[in-house]
Structures are given as C-alpha cells and as structure tokens.
C-alpha cells in the first residue's frame, strides 16, 4: 500500500507540472519500478490465506432494548361471544358403569292420618220353596215361601220381587225342579227385570229334571227383578224340604 501511495503522489506532481511550462520530472524508471511493486502487492493481496483458529468466546453483553415491535402492549378488552355452533351428532353410547354402593337407610316418615272408614253397601238374598208349589200363574212373579237370607231386606216376600236400593252391578241365579207324575208335564222359568226377559230355561219329560240360569245386571235405584213361569204350559214345579226351587241375588259392587 505504501508503493501505491507514492505512485499516486508522483502522478499528481506530473499532472501539476504538465499544466505549466515545465515538464514532468518523474523518472520513467522509477514509475516502472513502482508499477511493478504494485502488481506484486496486488498479487499478494489477491491470494486467500488459510482460515485462522477461532478465538475465545467473548463475555455476555448487556441486555438489549426491545426489538422493532416495541414493548408488550396492554391486554385488550374481551371480545363479543361468537355465534352458536351447529348441534353436534349424538355420540356413541358409553359403557355401563359399575353398580353403586347401597345408600344409607332413609329416616322414618311422619305418621299418616287415619283414613276415613269405607262404608260398604250390602245387599243379598236367597229364597226357596219348601213345599211343592204346583201349577203357578204364568203372568205373575213366583212368590217363594221361605227366606234363607235377606240382607238389607231388599227382597219382598209378599210380591216376590227384589227392589234395588243401591245402584250397582248385581248377580242373580235360580234353579227350578219339575214334577215327575205323567208324560208331557213341562217346567220353564224366566228372570225378568222391570218386566223384560233377561234369561230363561226349561225342562220336560216323564222324569224329574231341573233347569237353572244366571245373569249379571246393572241396576239403578227402584229397579225390580223377579222369576216367573215361562208360560202357562211350562209351570209344573216340584219342591220339598230339600229346596229344589231357589232364587238368589247379591250386590257385586256399587256404582
């Protein structure tokens, strides 16, 4: 670099002198020597040397200031809630959990109040012929001459009719026996409600025979039920102390 500096100074001197009347006093030989040295210097600087050994690690520097984005800003306000998402699909059914432990016994409850007594309505009867009634009127109720049971006194022995006092559902049943004295005698019986035939049965032949039937009726207060011969030709009845001819009824449940 020293040779380059000398060369530049000599060039400047020559330039100054060339502007005047005097000629450049730079010796050509010296210029050539300087130029040659310059070339050698340039060749020396153009060659790259081997990399040197890394030096020891320097000490840790002071903490720097915040980067280009500056200090951390204040926390912003809470944003508005987003729109409600779509309803997800039903997930798979989970496994059944283990059976839990038995809980503690609960405390004893308070003593309850006494229930109001239920008044049960009662109505029932059974009547029979203790003797042979013989031929009866086909247009009148059969008047049984012996009462076995008459709870509530709803069966009237004088009229032969049961008169309903408690509306509800009732069951009625009868059995009739015919005489066996000659061929061609008949016996038939009907249960009637307010004059309408409900059920009936009959028997015939030269030997004794019996017939019976049963019916369930819904009755209101004042309704009447009785038995009656099927017709004037079917009215030969037989009975005795064995009570072959009977008529019974009872309240199944009140309305």
Tens of pLDDT, residues 115-168: 767 788 999 999 999 999 888 899 999 999 999 999 999 999 999 999 999 999
pLDDT of residue 22: 44
15: left (phi over 0), alpha (psi -120 to 50) or beta: alpha
Give 21's pLDDT tier (boundaries 50, 70, 90): very low
C-alpha to C-alpha distance for 78 and 82, rounded to whole angstroms: 12
pLDDT at 173 over 70: yes
User: Counting Cβ atoms within 10 Å, is residue 80 exposed (0-12), middle (13-18) or buried (19+)?
Assistant: exposed
Rounded to the nearest angstrom, the gap between the alpha carbon of residue 243 and the centroid of all alpha carbons in its chain is 61
Within the chain, where are the H helices?
Answer: 2-19, 28-46
| C-alpha gyration radius of the chain | 69
């Amino acid at each position: 670099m020293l040779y380059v500096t000398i060369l530049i100074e000599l060039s400047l001197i020559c330039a100054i002198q060339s502007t005047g009347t005097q000629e450049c006093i730079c010796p050509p030989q010296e210029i050539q020597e300087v130029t040659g040295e310059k070339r050698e210097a340039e060749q020396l600087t153009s060659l790259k040397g081997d990399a040197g050994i890394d030096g020891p690690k320097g000490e840790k520097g002071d903490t720097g200031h915040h980067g280009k984005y500056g200090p951390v800003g204040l926390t912003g306000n809470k944003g508005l809630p987003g729109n409600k998402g779509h309803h997800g699909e039903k997930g798979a059914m989970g496994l059944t959990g283990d059976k839990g432990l038995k809980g503690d016994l609960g405390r004893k409850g308070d003593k309850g109040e006494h229930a109001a007594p239920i008044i049960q309505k009662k109505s029932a009867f059974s009547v029979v012929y203790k003797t042979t009634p013989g031929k009866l009127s086909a247009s009148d109720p059969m008047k049984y001459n012996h009462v076995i049971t008459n709870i509530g006194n709803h069966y009237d022995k004088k009229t032969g009719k049961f008169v309903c006092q408690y509306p509800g559902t009732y069951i009625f049943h009868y059995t009739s026996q015919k005489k066996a004295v000659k061929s061609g005698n008949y016996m038939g019986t009907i249960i009637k409600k307010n004059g309408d035939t409900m059920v009936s049965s009959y028997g015939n032949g030269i030997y004794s025979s019996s017939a019976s039937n049963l019916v369930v009726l819904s009755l209101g207060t004042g309704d009447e039920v009785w038995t009656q011969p099927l017709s004037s030709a079917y009215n030969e009845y037989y009975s005795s102390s064995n009570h072959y001819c009977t008529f019974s009824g009872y309240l199944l449940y009140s309305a």
